[in-house]
């Protein structure tokens, strides 16, 4: 606590008051106080490092908690670049201290005491931050406490990771895992089904256009006939997005047999098909 107070004082003393600028003797006194404060901060930093350096880096003078405070004010979009500026910053981005501070600053109501059973775990503070960022950016869902629903972000991260492995699990298994997680965390069946559908649509939309994704989508089309009881049943919106990606983004990858097979399934499920889906 003494380190924190001394360091904060050093930063505050760097900004002279209006009266100091007008009064020369007062200004000189303020400069002396500033130097004393910096000396105090320097002694704190040197005590932590156990040495002295003639050429001091301004960021090396600051204690860790103030460096973290500075870094958390950098826009999230620039964090990857900031982590490449210096090794010490990369260490902060790789540890828990910065992410915990960013989580408290960005989402102060994020509850650590929330009951969280099930296969999809919250994980580290970094993963929690990313999950909340995803929830806010892609879904904007609120939980029953009026906060951004962290569950949606964790379900998204889990599903995307599982679909990117060389041999992904079946749609039915992943759907059950997500729904069971939502139910275990207190969501009602209707909300769980709706939330899972949004997660699937978002993940399918954000999968890269490559051979693995093409094979994955074709596998899901073939698995779609399997019956799943409510609330594990397949969503109309997920089915539509699945076929939409196949017939638009991966049209050139479809053989004649695959195309007409997928088209037959699509006609069985939807009353009308877009003209862009038709014609091989």
- Per-residue pLDDT tens digits for 82-96: 889 888 888 888 889
Domain boundaries, the chain: 2-62, 63-106, 107-277
Residue 23 confidence (pLDDT) above 60: no
Write out pLDDT tens, residues 46-58: 444 444 445 666 7
Model confidence at 138: pLDDT above 80: yes
Strand ranges in 132-260 using DSSP code E only, listed in sequence order? none
Beta bridge partners of 142: 148
Residue 53 or residue 266, greater confidence? 266
3-state secondary structure of 142: strand
Decide: 120 and 162 in contact? Cβ < 8 Å: no
pLDDT tens readout for residues 140-188:
777 666 556 888 999 999 999 999 999 999 999 999 999 999 999 888 9
Q: Which of 44-53, 57-66, 189-198 has the highest mean pLDDT?
A: 189-198
Name the band, by pLDDT with cuts 50, 70 and 90, for residue 38.
Answer: very low
Percent of all residues in the chain with a pLDDT value above 70, rounded to a whole number = 76
Strand partners, 186: none
Q: Which of 49-53, 193-197, 249-253 has the lowest mean pLDDT?
A: 49-53
Residues 6 or more apart whose Cβ sits within 8 Å of residue 200: 159, 175, 235, 238, 241
Between the alpha carbon of residue 199 and those of residues 32, 95, 152, 189, 257, the distances in Å are 59, 28, 7, 15, 30
Contact in structure between 195 and 187 (CB atoms under 8 Å): yes
To the nearest 10°, the Cα dihedral for 168, 174, 175, 181?
Answer: -160
Written as six digits, the tokens of 75 are 């826009």
Check residue 137 and report its DSSP letter: I
Which range among 20-29, 48-57, 211-220, 245-254 shows the weakest confidence by mean pLDDT? 20-29
Q: Give the Cα separation of 165 and 71 in Å (integer).
A: 33
Average pLDDT over residues 120-146: 84
Q: How far is CA 276 from CA 43, 130, 248, 251, 280, in A?
A: 69, 36, 7, 10, 10
Q: What is the pLDDT of residue 2?
A: 44
Q: What is the pTM of this model?
A: 0.74
Task: Give mean pLDDT, residues 194-202.
Answer: 95
| pLDDT for 63 beyond 50 | yes
């Amino acid at each position: 606590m003494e380190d924190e107070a001394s360091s904060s004082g050093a930063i505050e003393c760097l900004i002279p008051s209006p009266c100091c600028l007008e009064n020369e003797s007062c200004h000189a006194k303020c400069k002396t106080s500033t130097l004393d404060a910096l000396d105090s901060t320097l002694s704190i930093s040197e005590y932590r490092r156990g040495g002295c350096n003639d050429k001091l880096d301004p960021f090396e003078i600051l204690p860790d908690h103030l460096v973290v405070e500075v870094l958390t004010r950098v826009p999230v979009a620039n964090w990857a670049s900031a982590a490449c500026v210096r090794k010490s910053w990369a260490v902060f981005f790789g540890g828990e201290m910065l992410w915990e501070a960013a989580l408290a600053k960005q989402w102060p109501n994020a509850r650590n005491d929330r009951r969280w059973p099930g296969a999809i775990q919250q994980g580290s503070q970094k993963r929690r931050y990313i999950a909340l960022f995803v929830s806010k950016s892609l879904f904007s869902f609120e939980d029953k406490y009026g906060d951004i629903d962290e569950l949606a972000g964790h379900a998204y991260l889990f599903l995307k990771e599982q679909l990117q492995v060389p041999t992904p699990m079946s749609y039915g298994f992943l759907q059950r895992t997500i729904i069971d997680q939502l139910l275990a965390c207190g969501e009602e069946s209707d909300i769980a089904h709706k939330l899972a559908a949004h997660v699937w649509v978002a993940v399918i939309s954000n999968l890269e256009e490559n051979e693995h994704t093409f094979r994955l989508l074709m596998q899901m089309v073939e698995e779609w006939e399997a019956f799943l009881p409510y609330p594990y049943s397949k969503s109309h919106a997920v089915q539509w997005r699945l076929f939409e990606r196949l017939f638009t983004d991966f049209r050139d990858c479809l053989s004649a047999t695959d195309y007409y097979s997928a088209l037959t399934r699509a006609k069985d499920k939807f009353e009308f098909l877009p003209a862009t889906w038709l014609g091989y």
